[in-house]
Structure 1
């Protein structure tokens, strides 16, 4: 049975047509780029959300100014591939470097001084576009919180190649080393997929090794699940469900161990916390997050 294919026009960004949902009266989410141009073989996002479209820096800043006027103190800038911000916008930088007029680093510098916004975070990053220029700039801007979510997906280069991620585990390690060079106490989180088609036990162990050696604060883990109309779903070397489940249990145990070790560095320290509200489990307590996104 054939499937009908419908031609559709690209969705264009329209500003000021809706009020984004806010789940807190303190922290807000602000979209800066929509869509994704990557071709990861396991992912349906490019099919469902279209090509990358960056909002203008002025529109983003104006939204943050309005949020500050409403009493918000923290903003998290959002994008499926946020470090690619600006590569679809016209113009080049006047310094002769050949870079685009607007990069994500430029955007952060443009919005950093919005009065009333005390904290800025961002997600999600792609290792291919995460530069030392961005890291250095973040280290120099006091409102930028020292928390970086950078998915790695696998610690094996062959699996990364099959995923079409566009980087090696060595490149990923250099990014983390650079972050910790500029910000030794920064918190780092990642994403990992286990049981990608063709993944051997040795390749899975390479992912475990990367997690041990980097020492993540948190890692979001998932067993590979085929998505319709993706190249990985059509492969014949699918990993058995029981093997995927076993690997997921093992990686989660390691992730929890690393998180506990990383959390220990906060013991007997004074942390600045942005209070988010009352602890729903203990009504006599308030709760919030420190700069490293650790719930307190």
Structure 2
């Protein structure tokens, strides 16, 4: 066991699930080096910000945090200050000019090299690691935030070129992990008591495009569908989820596999971004609203109770009021269980940032407000279907607002609260739903087993 002679660390994570998974891996590396988890940001000997650059407000928040730590470092030169993730990749050496107190600036592709890079810092160097780097298989153990639910990266990077998105330039080209390595990691997690796995990729439906293999029928092997079949029977894993999907690659074969494989949860996150075809073309999304509707129709045909969540952008350059209304119409028609919404934020080195027809900020704010109100109304309506039903809930923790209650999620990803009674964290509990809200449920544990799906 590593000692804690190096002191304590603190990681603050901004952004997506990929960043959260990266932070868990970097925490594992730090602990293998002899660091121990700190009790607070302002007391830690090493502070690491794992950053997001999807929207400007997330990026600016990082600089605010950095300013506080830079002042602290001027009083305590022994403090090690690290910026990782997408802002690091985007800004590179310019971050050092802006915050000269930084010791290490490292892009997402270098997360697995944290120990090597820190050894250079300890040798007296100020390090910038933002070059293209092949992501090798992990040989470290992540320090996971949950003891039941785990992220498993299956593909890194993104080859898409959406005109608003900075991800391909900061996370690099697609790199798929081998199916055998993914299964081996899941088997290790199952042996450690994990029950739910979320397979992660920036564009997970692209999994395997860079791997060899063609079937005798001429079909590409090593697709996400093939991977689900390959890992489905890992003993001890009760639930499998995956995110994030892209409508361009979301196939009927994948939907059929999800319906056939009992461990795959009935929840799909498929961003649509806009309900207007002209805007989708300007975004370079590669599908139409008709195509998106067919995906939803096929999901609901094979899995009528499946939950569907998505992402949407308002105020994309050139968006007219009529085009925004088409987004509202799509949301109203489909009735998403959850919709992550955002006002368009121009990002550096993306085509749309330089277009002349930018939407005024006050218009974006009003459209976002109107969309969010509709999202909540539709989510409340979606929740009604749970009332009186018995749902299978994996108890993931104790309700922080009521210590007598456990909380967990249904297979459809609805957050659910219920009195603990004799149940413990880690139990899969049949819960009769007695109260429904837009984005959560409450109920009571039942004696009878949950329905086998």
**TM-score category (smaller protein):** over 0.9
Once residues 340 and 277 of structure 2 are traced to their aligned partners in structure 1, the CA distance between those partners, rounded to angstroms, is 20
Alignment deviations for residues 168-207 of structure 1 (CA, whole Å, 9 cap, x no partner): 0000000000000000000000000000000000000000
- Which residue of the partner structure matches residue 141 of structure 2? 19
Offset of residue 20 of structure 1: 2.9
- Which residue of the partner structure matches residue 235 of structure 1? 355
Equivalent residue runs for 1:214-233 within 5 Å: 214-233=334-353
Structure showing greater radius of gyration is 2
Confirm or deny: 8 A CA contact 1:32 1:55 kept in the other structure: yes
- Of 197, 212, 222, the residue aligned with 1:75 is 197
- Of 231, 241, 260, the residue aligned with 1:121 is 241
Aligned CA-pair RMSD? 1.7
Equivalent residue runs for 1:174-185 within 5 Å: 174-185=294-305
Once residues 374 and 258 of structure 2 are traced to their aligned partners in structure 1, the CA distance between those partners, rounded to angstroms, is 29
Once residues 292 and 23 of structure 1 are traced to their aligned partners in structure 2, the CA distance between those partners, rounded to angstroms, is 21
- Which residue of the partner structure matches residue 140 of structure 1? 260
Offset of residue 21 of structure 1: 4.1
- Of 203, 209, 216, the residue aligned with 1:87 is 209
Scaled by the length of structure 2, the TM-score of the pair is: 0.63
Once residues 100 and 21 of structure 1 are traced to their aligned partners in structure 2, the CA distance between those partners, rounded to angstroms, is 35
Matched, 1:192 2:290: no
- Unpaired stretches in structure 1, ≥5 consecutive residues: none
Once residues 317 and 331 of structure 2 are traced to their aligned partners in structure 1, the CA distance between those partners, rounded to angstroms, is 21
- Which residue of the partner structure matches residue 394 of structure 2? 274
Point out the structure with the larger strand share: 2
- Which residue of the partner structure matches residue 31 of structure 1? 153
- Of 258, 261, 266, the residue aligned with 2:381 is 261
Offset of residue 29 of structure 1: 0.3
Confirm or deny: 8 A CA contact 1:146 1:292 kept in the other structure: yes
Structure 1: 4+ residue segments shifted above 2 A: 16-21
Once residues 139 and 357 of structure 2 are traced to their aligned partners in structure 1, the CA distance between those partners, rounded to angstroms, is 46
